[in-house]
Chain A
Amino acid sequence: QSAAKSIDKYAQFVPKSGVFPKGYEVASLASGVKKNGALDLGIIRNINKSKKSSAAAVFTTNRFKAAPVQFSRKVLQSRSGEGIDAIVVNSGCANAVTGELGLQDAEKVAGQVNKLVGNSDSTLLMSTGVIGQRLQLEKITAGIDRLFEEKKFSTDFDGWLNLSKSICTTDTFPKLISSKFALSDGTEYTLTGMAKGAGMICPNMA
């Protein structure tokens, strides 16, 4: 019965095509952190060089903020929200309640991506999964290297859908939406959004 419901929701809410904003590339893979071999690591990168990007975020108000939350907030503050060029997402391990070691792990992951995109302090992190376990850093860093070395970045629908799958945990379907909008002078722009979440959901972010 539960499986049938999952299939219905997937069919009902997951798009089969989409429009995506210019200047972004996405990539994902199964790094081996998730036990079932599912996608668990993804990167979105800004490749537009005509302007510096603007970035903003809201984070949990839980007193025990996970390492990627603390790290990303610091990066946004130090860059005053300018020049963020990558977001790394991983699922399977939340890197939460992991103390100083967790923060060091987060810094290593972001530092690796900063080098690969050629821009320091330009990477934000998001992690989800089990609380109270350290990141399996070897698997994640190897996965990041593979994404870049094997040129797995793309701009197509499948790439975006797979990225949205890579941040899923108990989700029964990936949450991806995209739309074009017009400004009053007729200029069109695009919004694409993705989310994950199925349980431990009552956010109060600021």
Chain B
Amino acid sequence: TLLGFIVTDLPIKTSVLQPLLSGAVNRSFNCISVDGDMSTNDTICMIANGAIDTTVIDENSPDFEKVKDQVTEFAKQLAQLVVRDGEGATKFVTVNVKNSAEFKDAKIIAETISNSMLVKSALYGQDANWGRILCAIGYSKLENLASLDESKINVSFVATDDSTPRELKLIVNGVPQFDIDETRASEILKLPDLEVLVDLGTGSEECQFWTCDLSHEYVTINGDYRS
């Protein structure tokens, strides 16, 4: 279950707070997955008590966009901590789907990759199994193929430390790179933080999803949760 709250001493108009929070959650807590299961209790709430003496923030305030962005970035930080603590997780993985024709398609694809048990198992085993990533993209429940053109798709692993080359291309314009540098792939997959980059090449929308690997420990923890 995900529970959380954000509190602030800034005065924010009640009618503005709900869309502000919903927008922040759609780019943060609604973009995380540990195991693909949705709880009966998930709740994020926010209270703004106005304890500091300043003008109430509403949609016409000069600082409205700034506050909205700050709350969104703050929510992302908090959401990412949940993924870092995913049951049994040894890796924090950013799935970045960019250059999509539609945002919703980028999100569906990012979520599908993030929920694939086979992708997550491969990440745990440090196996550069790009075929599973492509497979997950292929069965994503897209309404149509406006965002997905197999001749334009690029998939890479991206290192999150300072090592180079930072990006290891696995698929270029729909063509698998059969001669990938396995040593470099192995180095990147050993990192505790890594990124899977999917460039759809069909537009300019993007979505980031955060997930973790799936380890033996997950089953140990959940095999006897109730008893």
| Chain A contact residues, CB within 8 Å of chain B | 2, 5, 9, 13, 21-24, 44, 46, 48, 50-62, 64-66, 68-69, 72, 80-82, 84, 87, 89, 94, 96-97, 124, 126-131, 167, 169-173, 175, 177, 179, 181, 183-185, 187-206
Contact = CB atoms under 8 A, between A and B. Distances in A.
Given A53-B49, A173-B85, A193 B9 contact: no
B42 to A, nearest CB: 4
B30 A203 contact: yes
B85 A198 contact: yes
Contacts of A61: 38
Interface string B6-32: 111111111101101110010001101
Interface stretch (B74-82, B123-131, B155-163, B176-184): B74-82
Contacts of A187: 52, 54
Contacts of A22: 9, 49, 51-52
Nearest to B5: A87
Nearest to B41: A66
Interface string B59-84: 00011001100110011011101111
Interface in B43-65: 43-54, 62-63
Which 4 A-B pairs have CB atoms at the shortest separation, nearest pair first?
A23-B51, A195-B4, A51-B50, A57-B45
Given A23-B51, A187-B54, A193-B74, A56 B85 contact: no
A24 B40 contact: no
A53 B5 CA distance: 14
Contacts, number: 270
Which of the four size classes fits the interface of chain B? 35 or more
A51 B14 CA distance: 12
B1 A44 contact: no
A171 B91 CA distance: 16
B82 A201 contact: yes
B50 A126 contact: no
B218 interface: yes
